Amino acid sequence: CGSIGAALLACTIPECVALPKRIICLGIAAVLLAITVNTYQIHISLYMILSLTFLMIRFAKKPFLLLKKALFPILILPALGCGSNLALLKISTATQQIDLQSSRYQGLSKSLSSILPNLSTVLKGQGELWLSAQGMLPCGFFLAVFLLLFLLAVVSAVCISKKTFLCFVGCVFIGTISVFLPHIISGSTRLCQRTIFPIFALLVLFASVISLTDYGVVKLPALIAIAILLVISLYSTGRYSIDCIISNAKDQYYSEAIEAQIEAYEQNTGIKVSYVCFYQDAYPDSWNWDRHYTYDLCINGYYCTWNRTFLLKYYCNRDLSEILPRKEWQHFFSTQDWKTFVPNEQLIFQDESVMICLY
């Protein structure tokens, strides 16, 4: 969905900032953006920042014209896109009878008393986000590159005109707000790695403004910083990919070990296992701590509740229906603490059901 949304975003922005046939282009942009937001919500801030970048380049010497052209595409279209996303969410949950209160969806904060704690949580998460790009880059490197490019962009904007400088500062402010505002007004206050994507888009804005100047003394350090950032990012991506391969291999090994126990039970009893229920011990490890990247970047597949039965089907062609856990077994497993896979203790069979305790 993320890749599809990015492709749609690439089609949306040129339509948004187009000048000829503006009404038609804005209509196309509105439809594309609505589809984009419904594939992956983080693209709304990407859209705003990259659209501002396009307009900043086009109207760098006419900043007041930029404000005029940006009002509708930058402010109104995202609101329409978010509105379509909320509407579809309401329809889908109503038709499928999903309880929003018990799901991961938190909804919009409707009072100041709920927004202030969200703001506090978001502010507390800024350190890791800026210092290491949530663990994706060496500590301090991302912040150094961001500040350097920002200062060079400020110098470039000032060299063009004071009005351009003010317009640039306004674009940076709007772009930054678009990154964190969704976290503040919703219940999703955790700044995970996906939050970094639109912040990198701010670097595109800085680089675009720097490219408008004729001073090589400004362009050269920016080019060097961007080149170093690209090389280190490619290295980090490669290392992360290796971690994902290792993590997937662990999921496969665990799935095959479970399948072996199920097959042995079926052969010994003649009962076909059709249902599965998952539990956790007292201190389950959700992440692979021996990898370079942890948390959401390298999570154990079985700790994603929507993914568990799919893993068994994918690796072992075992199609099981998941059932709700029982309180007595929840209490029992919560008193245990395993460090390794012990199938005789962590897998318990009852008729057509198997209970699996994640450790």
For 170-195, the pLDDT digits (tens) are 889 888 888 887 777 665 666 776 77
| Residue length of the chain | 359
**Which among 347, 333, 335 has a CA at the least distance from the CA of 254?**
347
Q: Considering Cα of 297, then 300, then 301, then 305, what sign does the dihedral take?
A: negative
CA dihedral defined by 26, 28, 33, 36, rounded to 10 degrees? Answer: -160
Pairwise CA distance, residues 270 & 102, whole Å: 38
Phi and psi at residue 187, to the nearest 5°: -85, -5
* Bridge partner residues of 287 (DSSP): 299
Looking up tokens 């674009």, which residue turns up?
171
* Bridge partner residues of 277 (DSSP): 355
Looking up tokens 């150094």, which residue turns up?
144
pLDDT at 263: 93
Sheet holding 347-350, edge to edge: 321-322, 275-280, 353-358, 347-350
pLDDT at 152: 94
pLDDT at 140: 87
Pairwise CA distance, residues 110 & 112, whole Å: 7
Bridge-based pairing state of the strands 275-280 and 347-350: unpaired
Tell me if residue 353 falls in helix, strand or coil: strand
Phi and psi at residue 348, to the nearest 5°: -125, 130
pLDDT at 144: 93
Specify whether the CB–CB gap between 225 and 148 falls below 8 A: yes
User: Which residues, given as ranges, of the chain have pLDDT below 70?
Assistant: 1-26, 29, 37-41, 63-73, 79, 81-82, 84-86, 88-114, 185-190, 193, 287-297
State the DSSP H helix or E strand holding residue 315, giving kind and residue range, or none if neither.
helix 308-316
Phi and psi at residue 276, to the nearest 5°: -140, 145
CA–chain centroid gap for 14, Å, is 24
pLDDT tens readout for residues 224-241: 999 999 999 888 888 888
pLDDT at 101: 45
pLDDT at 264: 93
Amino acid at position 352, single letter: E
- Residue 152, both tokens: 């060079």
